[in-house]
Structure 1
Amino acid sequence: MEKIHYEVSGIINSDRKTKIKNSLDKIGGVQKVEVDVARGTVDVNFNTPATSEVIEQSIEKQGCIILN
């Protein structure tokens, strides 16, 4: 299992947090998602077929910008 950590701009409230989490949960291979509004971070544990590129696209589709 891989784990990836993102610093994200645009997690402005619990509604956005829920949208990000739900979007990531739909990706095959994603095992665990943690979104922290206060710190502006997203942590994802995943296996194949999920990839970091697909995860990043999913976060960005929710109106957020990945900073790292």
Structure 2
Amino acid sequence: MNRVHYNISGLQNSEIKTQLKNALDKIEGISMVNIDVARDSIEVGYNQSTDENLIKSCIENVGCNIIS
């Protein structure tokens, strides 16, 4: 399993956290989603057939921004 960690902005409340988790859970191959609202970070576990760009797009489509 691959893992990726992002620092993100836009996690204002638990509603956005739930939307983000639900959106990521719909992507085939994602096996783990850990969102830390206090630290504005997210960790995603996924298999090798999952495109990491799809994960990034999903995060941004929910309204969060990935901080590089």
Counting matched residue pairs gives 68
Cα deviation, residue 51, structure 1 = 1.5
Partner of 1:44: 44
Give the secondary-structure state (helix, strand or coil) at the position aligned to 2:7. strand
8 Å contact kept, 2:2–2:48: no
Superposition TM-score, scaled by structure 2 size: 0.95
Q: Give 5+ residue unaligned stretches, structure 1.
A: none
Give the secondary-structure state (helix, strand or coil) at the position aligned to 2:38. coil
- 1:33-64 deviation line (CA, Å, top 9, x unaligned): 01111100010000143221000000000011
Partner of 1:64: 64
What is the root-mean-square deviation of aligned Cα atoms in Å? 0.8
Superposition TM-score, scaled by structure 1 size: 0.95
Runs of 4+ more than 4 Å apart: none
Check if 1:22 corresponds to 2:22.
yes
